[in-house]
Amino acid sequence: MSEQIILATPYGTALADDSVPCVITQWHGFANKTEFIALQGAALQYFEQHFAPSHPWSWIGDVRHMGAIPEEAQRWLQDDFNPRALAAGLRVVHVVLAESIFGKIATQRYVQQTSNKVAELGISYYSSLEEAKAGAQQELQAR
């Protein structure tokens, strides 16, 4: 496997997998606003630095073990993350589905808010990380 750790914390890990290529955010539980933004922001910064039109990257959100997302972090996703990710070239977020009700609600809220505001950003769902990686590769090959 060619995964490289961008940031590892008790609440989540940001990884880069150049075999896809993609950035992966894996959530291990609840993260407060500051923790959530720090991890997601580190992954976004890596994405911004490595994406190029001639070598596009994808994004996988592995939210199987994610807890709730604080309101301030939800706003940050809409007002900061989404515009920056789109400007950097992101077109699809590949989501490994949450197992907990808190993760499911948080993901549904993000998807609903994103769909209402950002038509250019698609969401795809998977039951495993392996399936998400395969979907991300297919998406990148179709560009």
Per-residue pLDDT reduced to its tens digit, 24-38: 999 999 999 999 999
Structure confidence at residue 37 (pLDDT): 97
- Tell me the chain's radius of gyration from C-alpha atoms: 14
Asked if pLDDT for residue 131 goes beyond 70, the answer is: yes
Pick the residue with more confidence: 97 or 121?
97
Reported CATH class of domain 3-142? alpha beta
pTM: 0.92
**Whether 1 contacts 9, CB under 8 Å:** no
Q: Is 1 helix (H, G, I), strand (E, B) or coil?
A: coil
The conformation of residue 64, written as its DSSP 8-state character, comes to: T
Residue 1 in this model has a pLDDT that exceeds 80: no
Give the pLDDT of residue 2: 81
* Distance from C-alpha of 69 to C-alpha of 110, rounded to nearest angstrom: 9
Give the alpha-carbon dihedral of 63, 140, 57, 68, to 10 degrees. Answer: -20
Alpha-carbon distance of 122 to 36, in angstroms, equals 21
Stretch 54-63: mean pLDDT: 95
Distance of alpha carbon 106 from alpha carbon 112, whole angstroms: 10
Show the beta-strand stretches assigned E in 57-116. 58-62, 92-96
Domain boundaries of the chain, sorted by first residue: 3-142
pLDDT for res 91: 92
